[in-house]
Amino acid sequence: MKKILLSTIVFTLCAHPADSLEEMFKEGVAHGDIRYYYIHTDKENAAKESSAHANSLGGTLSYTTAQYNGFKTGVTAMTTNGFLLPDSVDASIIGRDNGVRLENDPSGDVAQESFTVLGEAFIAYAYQDLDLQYGRKVLKTPLIDAKDVRMLPSAVQGAFGDYKASDTLKLGALYLTDFKQRTSSEFINIIEHALGAYTQAVTGHTKGDVVALDAQYQQEGLTASVYDYYAQDFLNSVYLEAGYKSTLNDEWSYGLSGQYIHQSSIGNAQNNLAQAVSVTGGEKIGSNALGANFVAGHGESNFGLALTKVLSDDAKHDSLVLAWDGTPLYTNMITSNDLFQSNYGKSLTADSVYIGGTRGIRLVYAQGYDFTGYTGFKSELSYLNAANSQFAHDQNDLNAVVSYAVGHFSLALKGIWVNNPVSQSATGSITQDDSLTQYRVIANYTF
């Protein structure tokens, strides 16, 4: 990929006069962020208690050239550097995915290693309403996401196209070959990352790719979107969403939206997963999820109510398959999905509201405080109840966030309390702990 990208850039640059190339780079823009992250996690179950924490300092540095004859190019370096690490390390802000992939240990020596990676490196071309891009990119879609609320964002490698068909309709196409999980220093084949050691057993191949198409519609408060993600001989995923936002008067606003997700194994995976000795214990993938969301705003106050349901099918692997940092359900909490499904080879596991048969209800209250004269302060309190006939007890989450922003600086304090957190293995077995408590401090400076 590096050779192809380099040769493409050289060809592009050499095709234009030197003085124009000089302006192309002179007018380029550098930007980035410096981030400090602290995380402390306590877990408790009948067998044992555990406690881990970590400090990390890092961020991103990007440079993008100005556009010349429709072309531009850019790069982004990403780094995370653990320090003052204890004996028991929470590596979810350092190199957890490296540890899982290289030594099957999410908190061992490899997982604790700091790293720097070229997370973005692309060449882009724009002509009228068409935008094309090739290379590495931070991508944000419902099922393949950056999850940049953590230390570093995830990124993908491939080709990207967007077309503005009209003022209300945009179309997109993606061809993705590699994925870099946010706690990984390497871009790994996107299908291998999802399935790990089971890639060939499931798909019949040692690697693969993802082709995605999407359409976005927006007009006068009404929005609608559809995505289709196709991974040959593995998985096809469809995501649908529609919403409407409006105001009642000068003080009140509201919004309604709905979502639907369908996933099914395809091609070789249909036959291979049906075998009793397969990673899913003989179950093909067949997942369906529905969601509804209502939000209301009054001044600096916002309220939300969300309901989701992942349908149950005892004959199928009915939990959502989220290999690439997508956490799309409206009831997603800070820890609803522990974000470990996106670790190397873990896509067929699940937790909380993403487990087949789970009904989730989420309540949110967010408040700004500019009206008090103390500008920049915000708070958010959210509660989740997740119920499933397979759970011994309902899972209940409480998340509290207090944040402050001024200029280019922001600070967030997060408290997370979960009773009866639930996880599910690839074969469908349920594990339920007693509690999870987590505290986070995130300081960020953008430039």
Residue type, 3: K
58 versus 335: the higher-pLDDT residue is 58
The first and second tokens of residue 5, run together, are 């990208």
- Biggest alpha carbon–alpha carbon distance for the chain: 71
In CATH, what number is assigned to the domain containing residue 286?
A: 2.40.160.10
- Which of 5-14, 31-40, 78-87, 350-359 shows the lowest per-residue confidence on average (mean pLDDT)? 5-14
Could you tell me the pLDDT band of residue 10, with boundaries at 50, 70 and 90? very low
Per-residue pLDDT tens over the stretch 204-251 = 999 999 999 999 999 999 999 999 999 999 999 999 999 999 999 999
Q: Which two tokens stand for residue 295?
A: 């939000």
Put simply, whether the predicted model's pTM sits higher than 0.85 gets the answer yes
Model confidence pLDDT, tens digit, residues 364-413: 999 999 999 999 999 999 999 999 999 999 999 999 999 999 999 999 99
Reported as a pLDDT band with limits 50, 70 and 90, residue 339 is low
For the segment 11-28, the average pLDDT, to the nearest whole number, is 65
- Mean pLDDT computed over 72-94: 98
Q: At 251, which amino acid appears?
A: E
Q: Do 346 and 337 form a contact (C-beta atoms < 8 A)?
A: no
| CA distances in angstroms from 4 to 8, 10, 121, 122, listed in the order given | 6, 10, 11, 11
Domain, as residue range, for 162 = 2-446
pLDDT of residue 148: 84
* Per-residue DSSP letter, 285: B
Q: What is the average pLDDT across 33-40?
A: 98
Closest C-alpha to 361, from 421, 423, 309: 309
Question: How many domains does the structure of the chain reveal?
Answer: 1
CA 182, 50, 37, 98 torsion: positive or negative?
negative
